[in-house]
Amino acid sequence: MGYKEDEEKYKEWANILKALSYPVRLYIVEYLSSGERSVGEIGKKLHLDLSTVSRHLSTLRRVGIIKDEKRGNQVFYSLKIPCVLNFLKCSEDVVRENLENKLKFLDRKD
């Protein structure tokens, strides 16, 4: 099969990657890896207002990365596809190398 036959699949992957392209959303995904959390817990951990946190959670939920469960007047979020953490972990060496190179550049004395 070629690109045209699988174009919708690639569009969906692109949507997932776009949703993960915000540092705060990556943090949320990593934070949820240790268990479900309420919006309030996530907001407190991030030091962000609940409306901002809710928008980020909505984006992650819309693409299927997380799921929510309403209990009483609270909504709890958890990872729907915990394998997304595999991608983050496998790219960690690249991230570390990039950060080290930035530090070397900043430490250079001309």
> Is CATH 1.10.10.10 the classification given to domain 7-81?
yes
- The per-residue pLDDT string of the chain (110 residues; one tens digit each, 9 = 90 and over) reads 788 889 999 999 999 999 999 999 999 999 999 999 999 999 999 999 999 999 999 999 999 999 999 999 999 999 999 999 998 888 888 888 988 988 888 888 65
Residue 41 CA to residue 38 CA, distance in Å, equals 5
Element housing 89 (H / E): helix 84-90
What ranges do the domains of the chain cover?
Answer: 7-81
